[in-house]
């Protein structure tokens, strides 16, 4: 065996050591390169050569340059990154939403309380112009705060829209990058060696894509990766991409829906495919949190505006006229009318509008008040519809869909349909959504505040009981023109101890006795639908009892036309009492009324609802962020570059290189000696 074998061994050893030095140096150079995976020169024995004395090794070969990579850890890091991005995006937006609902003197609750409290001074001095002006100033301030809060919510929607459009653009750039890398990887696949740098770049692009949408990948034999969003929609197939598009919501043009482009145009994706990623968090905030906040705010604005306007209409102002509306919604006074949003794919000619109903009308018909919800109305093509309450853009599982027709009244609004809707045509109903944005003060003359009631109550000086008139509510100012007034209310004992009946005695005679329930309003039936009234008696009046000697005479309460309206404060006291009445969100269920919340409680409930969402979103963001950080650390421990390890390897490979060089030096020395001997 000549010196050539020894020379070959040295050359192979030097080449292998040099390859190891090169990969280690490359690792050190890219220690801070995003997405770089640690590389290693893989060596293998060159085999042996048979001789009579046995097999002698032929040295070492460089088999390949591998990258440190673990598919499982990479998928876990990408998934946890998607979840963290979703939670973080929603949490950031919710913290902005929380600022809309201020506390203390800057909050809506304080402004509403100040508005109703201002009626107290008018009740003390009904003719005081300055006290009346304060009421109007407070009304304007309250309407302004509602409008400002609604505008802040609209601004948040605009910000979400911009973020979603920017995110969709970033997704399309990344999918195009992945498709291009797929093509390049496929092109070099036939060379027999993995293109490590290209694989790293593709993995980095997929990881970055995971921040926007949750993705899954499936490899192909040619080395390409197909990328699917949420496990369903393909966005990269080999070198081809399916671009996402930020399209207008088919119901609400102010909102963004996520879709894909295709041969037939844009197609909206179901929200179930947006399971994680920042786009998912933004869509969830837009469709759920932001919509709920807008509806809660609008419900409160509607309750205040409608109740105050209704009470105004039951009283008389300083000019002796029926009270005018103090608030309006939109450009016209009266009951607000809201146009429903038609689905862009509707085939029929139908259109739908909602007319908000007066609270008294709803109470008489046992219909719930306006709820803080959106609804979807679906036509059956035969004149009927199915009404579904929505929650977060999807059907509310706590609400059973109901069948309705044109003219039905439900949850505080009347449904009006024009044209001819086709089967499966759909409409989005938002009875409360725009109320806070549209509310305005509709009164500028303080004399128009209806402080007086058209009726007066007189308590007989001969009464011996503790009964007192707690409330007197006219059905309208026409109550004073009832031809049967004045009317006397008297009480009678019954055979049941502690139980009383009452009768009305007026120009038409004495009514049939009816059972009195203490604290409950007593109806006085008018001659028309609008000239009756209700009275509430508190305390314990003395009731007539003919069974004793001498007979007990009933206490008497007389009601008639109010002839002193300029000094009367009955109606303004009723407006003051609205401050604590459960006016927001009352619901009729099973024939019984479930009262809503007072204004103070309603605003506190909004603060609590938003606050709970903020805290839970923060907790979720912290938790998912921690998980994502740990998953990335696990991936980096496998794929990342450790400078201490690389420095140790550098010394090791330097020594092997020097040893190989020494081997060549020895071979050269032997060769020279052989030449000298042969010469």
CA–CA distance, 243 with 229 (Å, rounded to integer): 11
Domain ranges of the chain: 3-68+640-678, 288-443, 454-561
Residues 6+ positions from 413 with CB-CB distance below 8 Å: 338, 354, 355, 356, 357, 370, 429, 431
Q: Report, in this order, helix, strand and coil percent for the chain, each rounded to 5.
A: 45, 25, 30
Give the pTM: 0.85
Residue 466 has pLDDT above 90, yes or no: yes
Per cent of the chain over pLDDT 90 is 49
Phi/psi for 147 (5° steps) reads -65, -40
pLDDT, tens digit, 9 for 90 and up, residues 334-390? 788 888 899 888 999 999 999 999 888 888 888 888 999 999 999 998 889 999 999
The pLDDT of residue 231 is 62
User: Average pLDDT over the chain, rounded to whole?
Assistant: 89
pLDDT, tens digit, 9 for 90 and up, residues 558-581? 999 998 889 999 899 999 999 988
pLDDT, tens digit, 9 for 90 and up, residues 131-180? 999 999 999 999 999 999 999 999 999 999 999 999 999 999 999 999 99
Q: Would you list the DSSP string of 168-235?
A: HHHHHHHHHHHHHHHHHHHHTGGGSS--HHHHHHHHHHHHHHHTTS-EEEEE-TTS-EEEEETTTEEE
Asked if 487 contacts 502 with a C-beta cutoff of 8 angstroms, the reply is no
Q: Which two tokens stand for residue 589?
A: 């269920």
Q: Which two tokens stand for residue 670?
A: 């032997």
Span 19-33, average pLDDT = 86
H helices, E strands: number in the chain: 13, 34
| Strands annotated E in 28-76 | 39-45, 48-51, 54-57, 60-67
pLDDT tier at 2, thresholds 50, 70, 90: low
Closest by CA to 433, choosing from 354, 346, 510, is: 354
pLDDT, tens digit, 9 for 90 and up, residues 279-303? 999 999 999 999 999 999 999 999 9
Asked if 421 contacts 350 with a C-beta cutoff of 8 angstroms, the reply is yes
Q: Which two tokens stand for residue 638?
A: 């496998």
pLDDT tier at 679, thresholds 50, 70, 90: low
Q: State the DSSP code for 290.
A: I
* Bond preceding residue 486 cis, omega within 30 of 0: yes
Q: In the Cβ-directed half-sphere of 412, how many Cα atoms lie within 13 Å?
A: 28
Span 629-646, average pLDDT = 86
The pLDDT of residue 156 is 95
pLDDT, tens digit, 9 for 90 and up, residues 44-75? 888 777 677 777 777 788 888 888 888 888 88
pLDDT, tens digit, 9 for 90 and up, residues 388-414? 999 877 888 888 899 999 999 999 999
Beta bridge partners of 557: 459, 489
Asked if 471 contacts 314 with a C-beta cutoff of 8 angstroms, the reply is no
The pLDDT of residue 267 is 85
């Amino acid at each position: 065996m000549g010196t050539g074998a020894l020379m070959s061994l040295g050359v192979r050893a030097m080449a292998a050591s040099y390859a190891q030095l090169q990969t280690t140096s490359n690792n050190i150079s890219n220690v801070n390169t995003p997405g770089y995976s640690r590389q290693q020169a893989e060596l293998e024995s060159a085999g042996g050569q048979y001789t009579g004395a046995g097999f002698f090794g032929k040295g070492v070969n460089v088999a390949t340059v591998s990258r440190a990579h673990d598919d499982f850890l990479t998928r876990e890091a990408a998934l946890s990154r998607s979840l963290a991005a979703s939670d973080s995006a929603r949490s950031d937006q919710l913290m902005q939403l929380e600022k809309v609902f201020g506390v203390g003197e800057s909050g809506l609750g304080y402004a509403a309380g100040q508005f109703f409290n201002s009626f107290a001074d008018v009740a003390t001095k009904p003719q005081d112009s300055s006290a009346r002006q304060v009421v109007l100033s407070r009304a304007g301030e309250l309407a302004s705060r509602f409008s400002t809060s609604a505008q802040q919510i609209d601004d948040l929607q605009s910000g979400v829209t911009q973020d979603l459009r920017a995110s969709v653009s970033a997704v399309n750039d990344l999918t195009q990058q992945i498709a291009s890398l797929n093509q390049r990887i496929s092109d070099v696949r036939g060379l027999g060696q993995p293109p490590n740098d290209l694989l790293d770049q593709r993995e980095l692009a997929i990881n970055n894509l995971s921040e926007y949408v949750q993705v899954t990948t499936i490899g192909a034999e040619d080395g390409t990766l197909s990328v699917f969003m949420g496990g369903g929609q393909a966005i990269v197939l080999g070198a081809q991409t399916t671009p996402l598009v930020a399209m207008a919501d088919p119901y609400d043009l102010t909102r963004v829906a996520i879709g894909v482009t295709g041969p037939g145009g844009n197609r909206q994706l179901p929200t179930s495919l947006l399971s994680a990623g920042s786009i998912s968090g933004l869509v969830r905030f837009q469709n759920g949190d932001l919509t709920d906040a807008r509806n809660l705010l609008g419900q409160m604005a509607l309750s205040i505006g409608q109740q105050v306007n209704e009470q105004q209409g039951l009283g008389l102002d300083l000019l002796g006229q029926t009270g005018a509306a103090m608030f309006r919604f939109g450009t016209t006074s009266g009951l607000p009318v809201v146009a429903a949003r038609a689905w862009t794919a509707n085939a029929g000619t139908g259109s739908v509008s909602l007319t908000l109903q007066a609270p008294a009308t709803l109470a008489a018909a046992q219909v719930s008040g306006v709820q803080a919800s959106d609804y979807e109305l679906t036509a059956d093509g035969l004149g009927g519809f199915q009404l579904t309450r929505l929650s977060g853009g999807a059907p509310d599982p706590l609400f059973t869909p109901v069948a309705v027709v044109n003219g039905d009244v439900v949850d505080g609004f009347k449904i009006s349909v024009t044209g001819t809707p086709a089967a499966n045509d759909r409409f989005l109903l938002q009875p409360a959504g725009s109320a806070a944005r549209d509310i305005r003060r509709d009164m500028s003359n303080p004399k128009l505040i209806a402080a007086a009631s058209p009726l007066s109550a007189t308590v007989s000086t001969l009464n011996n009981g503790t009964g007192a008139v707690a409330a007197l509510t006219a059905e309208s100012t026409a109550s004073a023109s009832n031809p049967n007034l004045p009317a006397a209310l008297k009480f009678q004992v019954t055979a049941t101890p502690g139980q009383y009946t009452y009768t009305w005695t007026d120009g038409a005679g004495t009514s049939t006795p009816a059972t009195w329930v203490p604290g409950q309003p007593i109806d006085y039936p008018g001659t028309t639908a609008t000239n009756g009234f209700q009275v509430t008696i508190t305390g314990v009046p003395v009731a007539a009892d003919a069974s004793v000697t001498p007979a007990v005479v009933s206490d008497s309460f007389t009601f008639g036309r109010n002839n002193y309206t300029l000094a009367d404060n009955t109606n303004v006291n009723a407006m003051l009492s609205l401050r604590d009445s459960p006016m927001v969100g009352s619901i009729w269920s099973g024939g019984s009324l479930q009262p809503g919340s007072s204004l103070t409680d309603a605003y506190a409930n909004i603060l609590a609802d938003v606050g709970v969402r903020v805290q839970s979103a923060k907790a979720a963001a912290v938790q998912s962020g921690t998980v994502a950080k740990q998953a990335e650390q696990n991936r980096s421990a496998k794929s990342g570059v450790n400078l201490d390890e690389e420095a140790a390897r550098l010394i090791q490979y330097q020594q092997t290189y020097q040893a190989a060089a020494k081997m060549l030096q020895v071979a050269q020395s032997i060769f020279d000696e052989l030449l000298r001997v042969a010469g």
